[in-house]
Amino acid sequence: MNKTLLLIICDFLLLNLLALTRWDSPVTTPASQNQPLNTERDTTPAATKDQDLVDLMQLSLQDEQARRDELARQLQETAQNLQTREQNLAQLETERTRLETERARLSQNLDQTRRNATMLAQEVDAAKRDAGISKERIAALQRDLEHRETELAREKAQTEKLATEQAQARQKIETLNIAVAVAEQEKTTLRETAETYKTQVEAERQERIKVQEATTQLAQGVGTLAVKSDDLTKEIRENRPINANTLFSEYMANNIQVRFETTRPGLFGPAARATDLRTILVSDGKDTYAVFHADDTPFALTFPGADVTRIAVTLARGDYRATVEKLHFLSTDPRILVVPLTPAQVAGLNVKVYMTSLEPFKFSDALLISTNSDPTRTKYEETPFKLDPTQPAFVQMRVSFFSSKRGDIVISKSGELLGIMVNKDYCAVVNNFLPTRTITASEDTAGQGIGGIINALATRVQSLPLKLQ
Higher pLDDT, 188 or 242: 242
Return the higher-pLDDT residue of 154 and 186.
Answer: 154
pTM higher than 0.95 for the full model? no
pLDDT of 33 reads 45
Residue 174 pLDDT exceeds 60: yes
For residue 47, the model assigns a pLDDT of 55
Per-residue pLDDT at 460? 93
pLDDT surpasses 60 at 189: yes
CB 369 within 8 A of CB 377: no
Q: Is the pLDDT of residue 57 over 80?
A: no
Distance, CA of 348 to CA of 192 (rounded, Å)? 38
Q: Is the peptide bond before 304 cis (omega within 30 degrees of 0)?
A: yes
User: Residue 40: which pLDDT band, with cuts at 50, 70 and 90?
Assistant: very low
Q: Could you tell me the pLDDT band of residue 31, with boundaries at 50, 70 and 90?
A: very low
The model's pLDDT over 266-282, given as tens digits with 9 standing for 90+, comes to 778 888 999 999 999 99
Q: How many angstroms separate the CA atoms of 104 and 110, rounded?
A: 9
- Quick one: CATH architecture of 241-468? Beta Barrel (2.40)
**Contact 238/414 with Cβ under 8 angstroms?**
yes
- Rounded distance, CA 401 to CA 336, Å? 25
Give the pLDDT of residue 224: 53
CA atoms of 191 and 359, how far apart (whole Å): 23
> CA quadruple 415, 421, 424, 426: dihedral positive or negative?
negative
Least confident range of 54-58, 144-148, 314-318: 54-58
Of 253, 301, 303, which is closest to residue 278 (Cα–Cα)?
253
Residue with the larger pLDDT of the pair 6 and 331: 331
Q: What is the reported pLDDT for 149? A: 87
Mean pLDDT of 35-57: 59
SS3 80: helix
Lowest mean pLDDT among 63-67, 252-256, 257-261, 331-335: 63-67
**For 282, phi and psi rounded to 5 degrees?**
-130, 145
Query: Residue ranges per domain, the chain?
Result: 72-191, 241-468
Residues in the chain: 469
Residue 370 predicted with pLDDT over 60 = yes
Pairing, β 365-369 against β 409-412: antiparallel
Choice between 358 and 298, residue whose per-residue pLDDT is larger:
298
Dihedral sign for Cα atoms in the order 150, 151, 152, 153: positive
Above 80 in pLDDT, residue 238?
no
What is the rounded CA–CA span in Å between residue 104 and residue 123?
A: 28
> Residue 236 pLDDT > 80, yes or no?
no
pLDDT at 159: 82
Residue in 395, 449, 391, 387 with CA at minimum distance from that of residue 426: 395
pLDDT at 193: 67
Residues 394-408 have a mean pLDDT of 79
Residue 397: strand, helix, or coil: strand
When pLDDT is cut at 50, 70 and 90, the band that residue 58 belongs to is: confident
| pLDDT, tens digit (0-9, with 9 covering 90-100), for 404-459 | 688 999 999 999 999 999 988 899 999 999 999 999 999 999 899 999 999 999 99
Residue 324 has pLDDT above 90, yes or no: yes
Q: What separation in angstroms does the CA of 392 have from each of 3, 68, 175, 200, 260?
A: 155, 156, 33, 17, 32
pLDDT tens digits, 326-340: 999 999 999 999 999
Task: Kindly tell me if the per-residue pLDDT of 154 is higher than 60.
Answer: yes
Query: What local confidence, expressed as pLDDT, does residue 46 receive?
Result: 52
Measured between alpha carbons, how far is 273 from 305 in angstroms, rounded to an integer? 16
Other residues' Cβ atoms within 10 Å of the Cβ of residue 57: 15
Q: Which residue did the predictor score with more confidence, 47 or 152?
A: 152
Higher pLDDT, 250 or 74: 250
CA nearest to 335, candidates 307, 311, 301, 306: 301
Contact assessment for residue 337 and residue 450, using Cβ atoms and an 8 Å cutoff? no
Specify the 3-state DSSP secondary structure of 121: helix
Residue 348 buriedness (CB in 10 A; 0-12 / 13-18 / 19+) = middle
pLDDT confidence tier of residue 37, bands split at 50, 70 and 90: very low
Euclidean distance between CA atoms 78 and 289, whole angstroms:
142
The whole-chain average pLDDT of the chain stands at 82
- For residue 429, give the nearest of 349, 362, 353, 352 by alpha carbon: 362
Q: What's the Cα-to-Cα distance from 113 to each of 98, 99, 100, 116, 294, rounded to whole Å?
A: 21, 19, 19, 5, 83
Is residue 264 predicted with pLDDT exceeding 50?
yes
